[in-house]
Amino acid sequence: MLLALPVPLIGGRSRSQKVRQLLMRVRWWLVLVVGWAIAFTLLVGVTSFVRFAYRNPSLHVAVETAGALISLLAAQLIYGRFRRGLDRGDLLLTAALVLFAGANLLFSAIPAIANLGPGAFDTWASAVAGAMAAALLAAGAFSAPRTIRRPTAATRRVVGLCGLALLVIAIATAVAGDWLPRTNASNVSLGRSSGPRIVADPVVLALQFLVMGCFAAAAFGFARDAERTHDALTLWFAIGSALAAFAGLNYFLFPSLYSEFFYTGDVLRLGFFVALLIGGVQEIRVGQRQLQQAAVLHERQRLARDIHDGMAQDLAFIVQQAGALAGRNGASQAVGDIVTAARRALDESRGVIATLVRPTDEPLAEALARVAEEAAGRFGAAVQACAVAGVELPAPAREAVLRIVGEAVTNAARHGQAQCIHVELSEHPELNVRIVDDGVGFDTSLRQCSGRHGIVGMRQRAEQIGAQLRVRSRPGEGTEIVLVLP
């Protein structure tokens, strides 16, 4: 019967500490960003050190174009997530980012490049599309997990609705331009700030307040999801949304629907797009790393299949036939040696197969438990495993440790006839792996003993990684093997 103790192995308290550290990291990031945004807003709104508006059409075009391109990049990444997980929230976020890109490019950057001058179309089309995108962003942040069963059809509908929304906004603002509240750029004083200037039309103020609220809600939703999923891209969405919320506050305090002006609130809005860019770069790196790991795992699985279907099958046949010969009367000692060697080679091949099919990113503590259970399970022995969580080793040392543990457990179960084997990974007084069994033990002073060749192999593996292997055993008292890692 096989007994595994996964809870001590994972290390409940250590895992909880990791989670708490991650939560604190998310919260401290947001506290830092919000604190900086508050300081920046106070600097602009209370002091007279900074102008709140600058007439710079080229800079305005550059910001809007960069925002559009970054939004498209982020939309592509989020859409990739949607295709993998088919979650409705990712599709809503994709739609929001597409609308951000359309609003920045079609309703702001292109009119400015065409030198059409500030008017109702570029002013209100951009504002309405941006408000709609912010509302979708908040909806995506709070969307409950729900699987989209027909992703292709849903994607087509969303893309079509986004295009239709941009077209309707463009037509409506063009037709209703004469009835829309006007915000004349000539009313803007470029003097230094001496306090908020809430002088815009009530509709403009209400729209800015709505956008600010949507971004603030989105920041809260993304922060909550980042704490739950430990996802870096979601964290950067939370940071960006917080900056965008304070950008909305600045636009509320200093109404800024003028296409040829660059406002201090645009600095915070640019921060939103920069946060999306940073999160996108990290997401691309994670994707590349996952592709590399998938390719390595695929090749390892192919090798494992080849060994299993080829060499392992032949060894199993040799063990079976040699065992039958050894059981006959008058069989020589050589036949018994062949059986022993063949069984060892078969166990070694099975260990290689298990190593190859094991995930490359499996935590060391879990890998130790898996190896010990697989080795002991062949002989009906029980395993108790406990390990400190969070310990990782370089790939060569990790592989050597796993092979040594597998060999030690196999020897304990096969030669030592152990019923219970204890495997422990500890950091005190030094990093070590300890394997203790309740088997028959052996005299370590004897040059010939069962499992001796296995111990020699374990010592050689330990020396290759600069570790020390200590073996303590007496007949009738079990065996203790301690691997002291550098």
Cα distances (Å, whole numbers) of residue 288 to 50, 100, 217, 284: 43, 27, 32, 6
DSSP 137-156: HHHHHHPPP-B-S-HHHHHH
Mention every residue, 6+ apart, whose C-beta is less than 8 A from residue 363.
Answer: 10, 389, 392
Structure confidence at residue 327 (pLDDT): 67
Give dist(CA 431, CA 412) in Å, integer.
Answer: 22
pLDDT digits (tens, 9 = 90+) for 472-483: 888 888 899 999
pLDDT of residue 458: 86
What does each C-alpha distance from 100 to 22, 129, 227 come to in angstroms?
30, 7, 26
Tens digit of pLDDT for each residue in 322-344? 777 766 666 666 766 777 777 77
- Residue-level pLDDT at 132: 92
Q: 384 by DSSP, 3-state: which?
A: strand
> Which phi and psi angles does 328 have, rounded to 5°?
-80, 155
Angle formed by the axes of helices 364-377 and 333-357, nearest 10°: 150
> Which neighbouring-strand residues pair with 471?
481
Helix ranges (DSSP H) in 328-426:
333-357, 364-377, 395-414
Confirm if 241 and 219 have CB atoms less than 8 A apart: yes
Between CA 310 and CA 392 the distance in angstroms is: 33
Token pair 């022995």 is found at: 381
H-type alpha helices, 108-229: 110-113, 120-142, 151-175, 202-229
Which residue spans within 45-93 are E strands per DSSP?
Answer: 53-55
3-class state of residue 447 by DSSP:
coil
SS3 17: helix
On the question of a cis peptide bond just before residue 486, with omega within 30 degrees of 0, the verdict is no
| CA gap 54, 268 in Å, rounded | 15
- CA–CA dist 464, 62 (Å, integer): 57
> What rounded mean pLDDT belongs to the chain?
78
Tell me the pLDDT tens digit for each residue of 404-413.
Answer: 888 888 888 8
Omega before 429 cis (within 30°)?
yes
What gap in Å lies between CA 362 and CA 392, rounded to an integer? 10
pLDDT digit string, tens, across residues 354-402 = 666 666 667 788 888 888 888 888 788 888 888 777 777 887 888 888 8
For residues 56 and 75, is the Cβ–Cβ distance under 8 A?
no
The pLDDT tens digits for 109-132 are 887 777 665 566 767 888 888 889
Contact 426, 461 (CB under 8 A): no
Q: What does the pLDDT read at residue 203?
A: 75
Band of pLDDT at residue 196, cut at 50, 70 and 90: low
Tokens of 441: 């033990």
Tokens describing residue 118 = 């500030």
Is 33 in a helix, a strand, or coil?
helix
133 closest CA partner among 85, 84, 166: 166
In 257-346, the DSSP E strands lie at: 261-263
CA 198 to chain centre: 43
User: Residue 190: is its pLDDT beyond 80?
Assistant: no
Q: Are 63 and 268 in contact (CB under 8 A)?
A: no
- 66 half-sphere exposure, CB direction, 13 A CA radius: 17
Type of residue found at 163: G
CA distances from 179 to 18, 123, 134, 210 (A): 57, 13, 25, 21
Q: What is the pLDDT averaged over residues 265-281? A: 87
Q: What is the rounded CA–CA span in Å between residue 367 and residue 260?
A: 61
Q: Are 10 and 365 in contact (CB under 8 A)?
A: yes
Smallest Cα–Cα separation from 397: which of 386, 389, 405? 405
Torsion sign (Cα): 130, 134, 139, 145:
positive
Q: Which residues contact 1 (CB under 8 A, 6 or more apart)?
A: 380, 382
How far is it, in rounded angstroms, from Cα 435 to Cα 484? 12
- Tens of pLDDT, residues 72-119: 989 988 988 888 888 898 899 999 999 999 888 888 888 777 766 556
pLDDT at 95: 92
- Of 94, 107, 116, nearest in space to 172 by CA: 107
